[in-house]
Structure 1
């Protein structure tokens, strides 16, 4: 499959991310978008990332700009560094997808690229770029990881997690050492687990049963209060409770928003609807799936009210803070990109403040449960054609969803999301950045939500084979 570009960046097989293609996209980004005085460059731990980074840095310098070599660094830490300096950034990462694929994420000085930036970059691809008389320089990044950690230690305090034993599933996350340092700096005892020299693609929305069982075993073996981790580039969190049961990303988002005093939530249509029943929030804005759409909704809320206490989050757990809030120890400034550490720390702190385990904190929320998984290696056009047929053809839809009574509500904001008279929800959607067809479900028990996903994943595999 040829590399694909969108607001989530460029993604493709490593064999197809040639030096010429990477250079072309880098130069197009530089030509099309504001850059500030330099471009910060970071990368994840997949084997192909350092070499791609060298190509990106060479292209930046050839354009006459300064390249700031940040090295292996979480995406939110890179964004924090570049935005704090008023500069742009390029992250080399394939996020949660396998190591045979990689990509580029682009940041302008105020945050992630938007749809208009995407269009401008595509318009400049393949063009001859102006020659530069003098190549730009290259300088190292300074203390970007330390500043990222300090953001949370300063906001929550050096004893925020005191007394907790926290397992850190390190695998090949670029944040694996940062997670250990951060929780220890907030008073916890960190227990590093399963560090890997081989890249492991971790999708925080679709954690496999074997990993879930492993988390449970670790909690019992080590007497843990939680296990934490991230995806490959660390813009998506993973957090389990003291039993090793994973807490979904949209639940982490709701808990984090509540602790931080947010009043307006911007979240994709696929996120858990329990927030509709939570009195702490004044309004919930549902968007298409993807952080650019969440960011656009947050910006609209701030345009309507510059003092709006607005946040965004996704079911994958990525959390975006849109206002300056006050943590237990100090202020926490906005960060308009998906972050992993805030939705890990905030629920742990909230549970500690409530004098309960994480499972007890989650049990107090409205009883709505989600599940998600995907059929991999399915061309996007095939998934989209099938889902469009279900949406447009009532007979096909009734046959595919024959377990249910007639649909009560159809939502086509992003894919096909169906609400049934029972209150249960099934949502089908082609992935925007990988050859996958995703299935989401929501029900009144976690077992029922998982059963719905299993049922319709099996049906999707039959239809899309």
Structure 2
């Protein structure tokens, strides 16, 4: 079982284990040992706009260099942009320094293979084995003439911008569309506005002035109020919200209503079916039951994977299907990109709307979501038994499931990105979902003190 890697790399509060410069250097060295043995000669490192990214970037650079691996630095860039440029610049692996949608005081490190593919569980376990060596016995260092060298790539953002623009069919443009984009003061603060503006949209850009500590602060895909207000104020056709590293997409229709990842996935699946797609869709255990019902009505197969885009990707590979995603906004459309990419996903949605000559409000009407309540309960991630194993927690879950009968769902899981237990309850009405989720969350809080 992996000790440090969650569903999306290693994350934590900056300055506390494991998000310290010492750990980051040892992680770079350990990854260099594993990847170097597999023939990796160069890694490409990108980051979001957190102030702590500078510290962790330098530490990782030192660790990789000590292991004899070269480094290419691209600066602030969306996670999918790093994945794309890893292939473009023929680097052998990529690293992103980001805590995605988390607050600025958190950060994370995720490592992937060429093409944006996540490392396998066995690779992550092997890296953790070398990490333990570094922690317990210290790092070694290759001979001076074999140290990894670092270079900086200055035109990374421009290259990625052009890549995104090319995914809009050449027969279409965004002329006549008024779009509000919220970049979350994050990694896409330059790229995203440039893409929509250069494709012809009348653009209003908000939350595009990062200062190192305002990433995701009351903005972006996890805080939609300001985007909703801006769409209504400017009478825009659509609002686009990204998260801190721009792999997560949420949208707002012209009425100011939020359109989440489940609804966007439905739109993409319906459009794909109309153009000949015969495969299915992969969601997760958190996907709204309304998505499953709507796809069933279309005759589109649907499967649930574990929560996390890496597990969605694994199931897509196993089935040979091309569409998948999460309600939180991670969307995978493998005919257009090999990774979850919020900017490209938004262009796919806009393509659907333009070709169907529909607005987002009308296009989403084929899916009716069931009320879903999500409550997060914080716990200590290290050295503490899982609250999910508590007899009291198991008992209250059984009681709630009995109360809901066959008209709802309960899902408890540890977050892969934060020290949280996520309590999700789905029911036929909001009051029942709220009450059931509150009952379970209260018992979990009592079990963790």
Q: TM-score w.r.t. structure 1 length? A: 0.81
Per the alignment, residue 200 of structure 1 pairs with 215
Per the alignment, residue 388 of structure 1 pairs with 389
Per the alignment, residue 12 of structure 2 pairs with 12
Separation in structure 2 between the aligned mates of residue 178 and residue 91 of structure 1, nearest angstrom: 16
Summarize deviations over 1:180-211 as a string: whole Å, max 9, x none: 11112222111012444332336999845xx4
Aligned residue-pair number: 426
Once the 2 structures are TM-superposed, how far is the Cα of residue 445 of structure 1 from its aligned partner? Answer: 6.5
Separation in structure 2 between the aligned mates of residue 105 and residue 24 of structure 1, nearest angstrom: 14
Residues 448/351 of structure 1: CA separation in 2 closer, same or farther (3 Å cut): farther
Once the 2 structures are TM-superposed, how far is the Cα of residue 437 of structure 1 from its aligned partner? Answer: 1.9
- Secondary structure at the counterpart of residue 274 of structure 1: helix
Separation in structure 2 between the aligned mates of residue 35 and residue 11 of structure 1, nearest angstrom: 27
Separation in structure 1 between the aligned mates of residue 443 and residue 308 of structure 2, nearest angstrom: 25
- Contact 1:248 1:370 (8 Å CA) reproduced: no
Separation in structure 2 between the aligned mates of residue 445 and residue 241 of structure 1, nearest angstrom: 24
Residues 450/182 of structure 1: CA separation in 2 closer, same or farther (3 Å cut): farther
RMSD: 3.1
Separation in structure 2 between the aligned mates of residue 136 and residue 13 of structure 1, nearest angstrom: 28
Once the 2 structures are TM-superposed, how far is the Cα of residue 391 of structure 1 from its aligned partner? Answer: 9.4
1:346-361 pair list within 5 angstroms? 346-361=348-363
Once the 2 structures are TM-superposed, how far is the Cα of residue 60 of structure 1 from its aligned partner? Answer: 2.2
2:142 to 131, 155, 160: 131
Per the alignment, residue 320 of structure 1 pairs with 332
Per the alignment, residue 228 of structure 2 pairs with 216
- Secondary structure at the counterpart of residue 298 of structure 1: helix
Separation in structure 2 between the aligned mates of residue 205 and residue 272 of structure 1, nearest angstrom: 21
2:286 to 241, 262, 270: 270
Per the alignment, residue 184 of structure 1 pairs with 197
Residues 443/344 of structure 1: CA separation in 2 closer, same or farther (3 Å cut): farther
Once the 2 structures are TM-superposed, how far is the Cα of residue 364 of structure 1 from its aligned partner? Answer: 2.1
Query: After alignment, is 354-363 or 433-442 more displaced?
Result: 433-442
Once the 2 structures are TM-superposed, how far is the Cα of residue 384 of structure 1 from its aligned partner? Answer: 7.4
Per the alignment, residue 65 of structure 1 pairs with 69
Summarize deviations over 1:255-295 as a string: whole Å, max 9, x none: 22443455222221211233434255643232111222222
Separation in structure 1 between the aligned mates of residue 247 and residue 331 of structure 2, nearest angstrom: 8
- Contact 1:201 1:231 (8 Å CA) reproduced: yes
1:31-42 pair list within 5 angstroms? 31-33=33-35, 34=38, 36-42=40-46
Once the 2 structures are TM-superposed, how far is the Cα of residue 145 of structure 1 from its aligned partner? Answer: 2.6
- Contact 1:99 1:199 (8 Å CA) reproduced: yes
Per the alignment, residue 254 of structure 2 pairs with 242
- Secondary structure at the counterpart of residue 139 of structure 1: strand
Summarize deviations over 1:352-405 as a string: whole Å, max 9, x none: 33232211111122x223545442532347997443346985x53344x2xx74
Residues 461/240 of structure 1: CA separation in 2 closer, same or farther (3 Å cut): farther
Separation in structure 2 between the aligned mates of residue 144 and residue 438 of structure 1, nearest angstrom: 36
Once the 2 structures are TM-superposed, how far is the Cα of residue 154 of structure 1 from its aligned partner? Answer: 1.8
1:433 aligns with 2:439: no
Residues 130/385 of structure 1: CA separation in 2 closer, same or farther (3 Å cut): closer
Residues 295/361 of structure 1: CA separation in 2 closer, same or farther (3 Å cut): same
Separation in structure 2 between the aligned mates of residue 312 and residue 204 of structure 1, nearest angstrom: 25
- Contact 2:184 2:207 (8 Å CA) reproduced: yes
Separation in structure 2 between the aligned mates of residue 154 and residue 216 of structure 1, nearest angstrom: 28
- Secondary structure at the counterpart of residue 355 of structure 2: helix
Separation in structure 1 between the aligned mates of residue 410 and residue 403 of structure 2, nearest angstrom: 13
Once the 2 structures are TM-superposed, how far is the Cα of residue 13 of structure 1 from its aligned partner? Answer: 2.0
Separation in structure 1 between the aligned mates of residue 21 and residue 390 of structure 2, nearest angstrom: 39
Separation in structure 2 between the aligned mates of residue 5 and residue 438 of structure 1, nearest angstrom: 18
1:101-180 pair list within 5 angstroms? 101-110=106-115, 111-125=117-131, 126-127=133-134, 128-129=139-140, 131-134=142-145, 135-141=147-153, 143-157=155-169, 159-180=172-193
- Contact 2:408 2:425 (8 Å CA) reproduced: yes
Per the alignment, residue 81 of structure 2 pairs with 77
Per the alignment, residue 338 of structure 1 pairs with 340
1:100 to 97, 100, 105: 105
Structure 2: which 5+ runs fail to align?
A: none
Per the alignment, residue 411 of structure 1 pairs with none
Separation in structure 2 between the aligned mates of residue 220 and residue 451 of structure 1, nearest angstrom: 32
Separation in structure 2 between the aligned mates of residue 248 and residue 114 of structure 1, nearest angstrom: 29
Residues 43/376 of structure 1: CA separation in 2 closer, same or farther (3 Å cut): farther
Please identify which structure carries the higher strand content: 1
Residues 185/373 of structure 1: CA separation in 2 closer, same or farther (3 Å cut): farther
- Contact 1:266 1:313 (8 Å CA) reproduced: yes
Once the 2 structures are TM-superposed, how far is the Cα of residue 447 of structure 1 from its aligned partner? Answer: 8.1
Separation in structure 1 between the aligned mates of residue 220 and residue 440 of structure 2, nearest angstrom: 16
2:48 to 38, 44, 47: 44
Separation in structure 2 between the aligned mates of residue 397 and residue 377 of structure 1, nearest angstrom: 18
Once the 2 structures are TM-superposed, how far is the Cα of residue 75 of structure 1 from its aligned partner? Answer: 0.4
Separation in structure 1 between the aligned mates of residue 182 and residue 144 of structure 2, nearest angstrom: 48
Query: After alignment, is 274-283 or 218-227 more displaced?
Result: 274-283
